[in-house]
């Protein structure tokens, strides 16, 4: 059983606490500085696309990179090539099945500079920039196709296991809902309709279902705040649960009922479990660990224990590895890096 350590400040004392993470072995750190997140495997499992704002790379905000996993395993100084143009802000990259293209969302047509985020004192908020659209790029960084071209937010796109469908989030209907489209951008169809933020969607291994995070404001004051923030291009992500549905949006089911923020879900290779990030267990709110749960909502299990931020887990196509973001081993900085580990069921 592998054992890990994390540290808590209590007064002036530094306390080392040993905690097991038996599902994760041969843990390797893939990046070394900045905020690195949303790392997703290529279909052959040899590469991972991700976004980074590493200032040492001259970045002012998130851009998309193509990480060669074999090269970075051999050379910790390896700098992956940037796929995005460096203009605007980018997010949510994902490989196409041909292995020659990556899709991602970018604001670059709204301006070369990083768009400014509206800040409200005392609130943790996510920006949903209205200039985001979804593009396809080759591995050299040349944009080959624009998949969305509507006013408002279009982002958070991922590809089905068969490589023929895309699920993404859009506010074109007046709310942040899930939509699907063909791999070429045709047949765009809304599949969720509940008030609240629906996003971060992924297909199940057989391609028949979709797992995603969602907020569902119901009280009058919650609905009012949600709508007011959305009108300003903002979302408060403090209250979200995990849901699944069929690809057409039918058979909608709520998986978690944990409270607080449950997000970044991804299907276990069996298709019967879901791994996700959550702070439901934390009294302080900022302690995010990975958990796994059966698709029917039973059998909750904590996967990580180290550091106070672990998120964006994804299993490799063969189910043997897990890649995720964490602020462990950051030398006391605020950096969030990518890690990969062998997965043990």
pLDDT, tens digit (0-9, with 9 covering 90-100), for 58-112: 999 999 999 999 999 888 889 999 999 999 999 999 999 999 999 999 999 999 9
For residue 1, is pLDDT > 60? no
Can you give the pLDDT at residue 288?
Answer: 97
Can you give the pLDDT at residue 113?
Answer: 97
Confidence of residue 283 (pLDDT cuts 50, 70, 90): confident
CA distances 245 to 22, 168, 174, 336, Å, are 30, 14, 21, 31
Query: pTM for this one?
Result: 0.93
> Cα separation of 321 and 294, whole Å?
19
CB 243 within 8 A of CB 267: no
Task: Please give the average per-residue pLDDT across 199-212, as a whole number.
Answer: 98
For residue 185, is pLDDT > 70? yes
For residue 12, is pLDDT > 80? no
Helix (H, G, I), strand (E, B) or coil at 109: helix
Domain locations along the chain: 22-343
For residue 165, is pLDDT > 60? yes
Q: What are phi and psi of 293, to 5 degrees?
A: -145, 150
Dihedral (C-alpha) 21, 23, 26, 30: value to the nearest 10 degrees?
-80
Can you give the pLDDT at residue 9?
Answer: 33
CA distances 219 to 76, 178, 260, Å, are 50, 23, 16
Weakest-pLDDT range from 19-23, 205-209, 234-238, 255-259: 19-23
| DSSP H/E element including 146 | strand 143-146
- Assigned token pair, 59: 């970045």
Confidence of residue 193 (pLDDT cuts 50, 70, 90): very high
Fold for domain 22-343? Answer: Neuraminidase (2.120.10)
Neighbours of 328 (CB within 10 A): 20
Confidence of residue 284 (pLDDT cuts 50, 70, 90): confident
Residue with tokens 């038996």: 22
Contacts of 123 (CB under 8 A, 6+ apart): 236
Can you give the pLDDT at residue 19?
Answer: 79
Give the percent of the chain with pLDDT over 70. 95
Can you give the pLDDT at residue 16?
Answer: 37
Cα 85–chain centre separation = 21
| Residue 113 vs residue 3, higher pLDDT | 113
> Cα separation of 262 and 219, whole Å?
20
For residue 133, is pLDDT > 50? yes
Can you give the pLDDT at residue 126?
Answer: 95
CB 311 within 8 A of CB 328: no
| DSSP H/E element including 226 | helix 220-231
> Cα separation of 160 and 202, whole Å?
8
Cα 269–chain centre separation = 18
Can you give the pLDDT at residue 191?
Answer: 98
Q: What are phi and psi of 102, to 5 degrees?
A: -130, 135
Cα 316–chain centre separation = 15
| Residue 13 vs residue 170, higher pLDDT | 170
Task: Please give the average per-residue pLDDT across 288-311, as a whole number.
Answer: 97
Going by C-alpha positions, the residue among 103, 91, 23 that lies closest to residue 62 is 91
Sign of CA dihedral 150, 82, 119, 222: positive
Confidence of residue 4 (pLDDT cuts 50, 70, 90): very low
Residue with tokens 């768009």: 115
For residue 6, is pLDDT > 70? no
């Amino acid at each position: 059983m592998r054992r890990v350590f994390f540290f808590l400040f209590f007064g002036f004392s530094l306390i080392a606490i040993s905690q097991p993470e038996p599902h994760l072995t041969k843990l390797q750190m893939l990046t070394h500085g900045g905020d690195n997140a949303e790392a997703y495997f290529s279909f052959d499992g040899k590469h991972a696309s991700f976004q980074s704002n590493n200032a040492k790379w001259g970045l002012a905000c998130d851009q998309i990179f193509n990480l060669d996993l074999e090269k970075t395993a051999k050379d910790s100084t390896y700098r992956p090539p940037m796929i995005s143009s460096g203009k605007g802000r980018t997010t949510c990259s994902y490989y196409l099945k041909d292995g020659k293209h990556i899709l991602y969302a970018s604001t670059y047509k709204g301006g070369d500079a990083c768009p400014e985020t509206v800040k409200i004192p005392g609130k943790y908020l996510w920006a949903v920039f209205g200039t985001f659209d979804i593009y396809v790029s080759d591995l050299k960084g040349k944009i080959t196709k624009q998949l969305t071209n509507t006013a408002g937010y279009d982002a958070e796109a991922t590809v089905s296991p068969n490589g023929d469908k895309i699920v993404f989030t859009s506010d074109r209907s007046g709310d942040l809902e899930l939509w699907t489209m063909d791999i070429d951008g045709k047949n765009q169809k809304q599949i969720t309709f509940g008030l609240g933020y629906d996003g971060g969607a992924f297909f199940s291994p057989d391609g028949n279902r979709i797992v995603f995070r969602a907020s569902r404001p119901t009280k009058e004051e919650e609905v009012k705040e949600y709508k007011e923030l959305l009108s300003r291009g903002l979302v408060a992500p403090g209250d979200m649960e995990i849901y699944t549905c069929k690809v057409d949006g039918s058979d909608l089911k709520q998986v978690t009922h944990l409270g607080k923020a449950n997000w970044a879900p991804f299907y276990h290779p069996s298709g019967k479990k879901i791994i996700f990030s959550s702070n439901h267990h934390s009294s302080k709110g900022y302690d995010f660990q990975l958990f796994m749960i059966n698709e029917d909502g039973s059998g909750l299990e904590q996967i990580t224990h180290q550091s106070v931020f672990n998120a964006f887990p994804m299993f490799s196509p063969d189910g043997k590895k897990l890649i995720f973001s964490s602020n462990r081993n950051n030398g006391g900085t605020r950096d969030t890096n990518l890690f990969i580990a062998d997965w043990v069921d």
